[in-house]
Amino acid sequence: MLQGEGILPSSRELDYRDTSPARGTKNDRPVVILLGWAGCQDRHLAKYSTIYHEQGCIVIRYTAPWRMIFFSESVGIKSLRTLARKLLELLFVYKIENQPLLFHVFSNGGAMLYRYVTELLRMHLPFRHLKVVGAIFDSAPGRKNLWGSIRALAIVLASTNALLRNLAEREGEAWL
């Protein structure tokens, strides 16, 4: 199931990608979880996945929905906690929970999700024995401020709606 590059079955709640090399057994390889930035497309994370894949790692790529990052979390709804739990549960589903685990976290979007991962690793009994050997923070965490949030949202919206992006950019300039 984890051999070769492919997409594992996913649910509506957690659309993730898994790649793993064909050589070796899954029992002797580290697992790398890539947590993408807000608005990150899977093809961007796939480039990083290839680097780890070539080193013999099992790789899981996941980017939280940008609406959750920008809106749910900002009003106190901890929807990313549920996603973090489902992500960690995947390790048990595919029987790779005893592997060394490395997180590669991108920007604030990845860092916001990783916050809940670390909380679950400390507080939730089934996850306490997971062997996290490291975490890489790539451009994260950044300072939380309104202008930075508006700029980040404008970048995410750039690929979806030019009108919304322009409105977000103008609002950001008004706050300066």
Interatomic CA distance for residues 108 and 87, integer angstroms: 18
Amino acid found at 6:
G
Q: What is the crossing angle of helices 107-123 and 79-93, to 10°?
A: 70
Section 14-31 average pLDDT: 67
Return the percentage of the chain with pLDDT > 70, whole number: 62
Interatomic CA distance for residues 92 and 85, integer angstroms: 11
Distances in whole angstroms, Cα of residue 91 to Cα of each of 153, 168, 172: 31, 38, 41
Q: What is the pLDDT of residues 35-78, one digit of tens each?
A: 999 889 999 999 999 999 999 999 999 999 988 887 776 666 78
Q: What is the pLDDT of residues 145-160, one digit of tens each?
A: 555 555 655 655 565 6
Q: Helix, strand, coil shares of the chain as percentages rounded to 5?
A: 50, 20, 30
Residue-range domain boundaries for the chain: 4-142, 143-176
Q: Which two tokens stand for residue 94?
A: 């595919």
Among 12-16, 107-111, 128-132, which is the least confidently predicted range? 12-16
CATH 3.10.20.30 fits domain 4-142? no
